[in-house]
């Protein structure tokens, strides 16, 4: 069992009467990738901001394994918004960070790993949004932190660029045992990267554990039947099955007795375009917190 590098105890944070975090307690293990997911406003950024001392909690406490006074020597924080001087070149900003953090990292190697070698002499104001995002992650890693916080990891990046970032992060996690805490709206990202996931729902931690454990725990041998009904007026017939409405007039039913339910749906309700499958992480989310995903796989509010 690895040590805890961060211990969060009973965190509470409100903004006026809005409760952003309600009694959150957990440990971050050294060398793990912890993925924090939740809908807009679930409390992800507030949690990270409180963990890195940007916000003061109303109650509770965050303990680090290392000396709190030198915390910023040990951690790297990438926030949602970045403000870079537009008239500086990529390499200038990198050198500045390197100097400020007294790092001996090989910048050429890093720029290459992030696919930014060609942009080395590009002015920040001329960079694409995706490249600004890559640069901000790169800068977070320049001081060779032991713990990295990445808020909204790959928002704004195309699928190829996202994969590249995932690989870089996995490598620094595996090679250097860097602990990584990421928030994301994308379940595929968390499923791919995270050793454990935390599901936040309206400021509450509703799940913390392994991805496969989440699926096993919440599915309990159930199958998922997804379908459309032939006659929308017949939707009341689905009530007794606890059907969850999805996009595009589709419904989802969880059942341990898929054969019987399927027969009933076909003969008594009238369904089409049906799929029977084992639950995925996406289904688990839908079940735990009523989340839905948009076409790109991003969590959207109910």
Query: 203-262: which residues touch ligand ATP (CB under 6 A)?
Result: none
Span near ligand ATP by CB under 6 A; candidates 14-22, 108-116, 205-213, 215-223: 14-22
Span near ligand ATP by CB under 6 A; candidates 35-43, 112-120, 166-174, 242-250: 35-43
Among 2, 15, 86, 231, binds ligand ATP (CB under 6 A): 15
Counting contacts by CB under 6 A, is residue 43 touching ligand ATP? yes
As measured in angstroms, the least distance from the Cβ of 256 to ligand ATP is 33
**Torsion over CA: 70, 75, 81, 84 (sign):** positive
In the chain, what is the straight-line distance between the N-terminal and C-terminal CA atoms, in Å?
A: 38
Choose between 38 and 113: whose C-beta lies nearer to ligand ATP.
Answer: 38
Among 25, 40, 247, 273, binds ligand ATP (CB under 6 A): 40
Choose between 39 and 196: whose C-beta lies nearer to ligand ATP.
Answer: 39
Choose between 13 and 223: whose C-beta lies nearer to ligand ATP.
Answer: 13
Angle at 148 between CA 139 and CA 26, to 5 degrees: 160
Q: Please count the helices (runs of H) and the strands (runs of E) in the chain.
A: 10, 15
Span near ligand ATP by CB under 6 A; candidates 13-21, 153-161, 240-248, 277-285: 13-21
Choose between 39 and 223: whose C-beta lies nearer to ligand ATP.
Answer: 39
**153 contacts 184 by C-beta, under 8 angstroms:** yes
Counting contacts by CB under 6 A, is residue 156 touching ligand ATP? no
Query: Measured between alpha carbons, how far is 79 from 262 in angstroms, rounded to an integer?
Result: 47
User: 77: Cβ–Cβ under 8 A, 6 or more apart, which residues?
Assistant: 48, 52, 140, 148, 149
Choose between 45 and 179: whose C-beta lies nearer to ligand ATP.
Answer: 45
- Which backbone phi and psi does 115 adopt, to 5 degrees? 65, 30
**23 contacts 185 by C-beta, under 8 angstroms:** no
As measured in angstroms, the least distance from the Cβ of 46 to ligand ATP is 3
DSSP 243: P
Counting contacts by CB under 6 A, is residue 98 touching ligand ATP? no
**120 contacts 86 by C-beta, under 8 angstroms:** no
User: 141: Cβ–Cβ under 8 A, 6 or more apart, which residues?
Assistant: 76, 105, 110, 148, 172
Counting contacts by CB under 6 A, is residue 46 touching ligand ATP? yes
Sheet holding 75-78, edge to edge: 75-78, 147-150, 179-184, 33-37, 196-201, 204-210
Span near ligand ATP by CB under 6 A; candidates 41-49, 61-69, 213-221, 264-272: 41-49
DSSP reduced 3-state for 241:
helix
Choose between 37 and 142: whose C-beta lies nearer to ligand ATP.
Answer: 37
Radius of gyration of the chain (CA): 22
Among 31, 34, 45, 180, binds ligand ATP (CB under 6 A): 45
Counting contacts by CB under 6 A, is residue 42 touching ligand ATP? yes
Among 35, 44, 130, 135, binds ligand ATP (CB under 6 A): 44
Among 1, 3, 18, 295, binds ligand ATP (CB under 6 A): 18
| Residues engaged in binding ligand ATP (CB under 6 A) | 15, 18, 20, 38, 40-46
């Amino acid at each position: 069992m690895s040590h805890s590098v961060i211990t969060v105890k009973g965190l509470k944070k409100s903004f006026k009467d809005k409760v952003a975090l309600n009694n959150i307690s957990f440990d971050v293990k050294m060398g793990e990738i912890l993925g924090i997911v939740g809908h807009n406003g679930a409390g992800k950024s507030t949690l990270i901001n409180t963990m890195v001392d940007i916000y003061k909690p109303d109650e509770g406490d965050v303990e680090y394994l290392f000396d709190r006074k030198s915390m910023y020597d040990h951690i790297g924080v990438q926030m949602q918004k970045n403000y870079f001087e537009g008239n500086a070149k990529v390499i200038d900003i990198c050198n500045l960070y390197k100097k400020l953090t007294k790092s001996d990292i090989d910048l050429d190697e890093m720029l290459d790993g992030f696919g930014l070698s060609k942009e080395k002499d590009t002015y920040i104001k001329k960079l694409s949004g995706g490249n600004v995002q890559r640069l901000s992650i790169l800068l977070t890693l320049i001081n060779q932190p032991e713990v990295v916080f990445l808020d909204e990891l790959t928002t704004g990046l195309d699928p190829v660029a996202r994969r590249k970032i995932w690989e870089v992060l996995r490598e620094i996690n595996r090679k250097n045992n860097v602990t990584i805490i990421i928030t994301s709206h994308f379940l595929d990202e968390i499923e791919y990267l995270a050793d454990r996931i935390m599901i936040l729902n309206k400021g509450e931690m509703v799940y913390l554990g392994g991805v496969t454990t989440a699926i096993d725990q919440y599915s309990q041998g159930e199958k998922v039947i997804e379908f459309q009904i032939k006659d929308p007026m017949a939707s009341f017939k689905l009530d007794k099955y606890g059907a969850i409405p999805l996009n595009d007039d589709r419904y989802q039913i969880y059942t341990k007795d898929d054969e019987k339910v399927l027969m009933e749906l076909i003969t008594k309700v009238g369904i089409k375009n049906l799929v029977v499958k084992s639950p995925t992480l996406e289904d688990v989310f839908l079940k735990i917190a009523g989340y839905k995903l948009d076409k790109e796989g991003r969590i959207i509010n109910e």
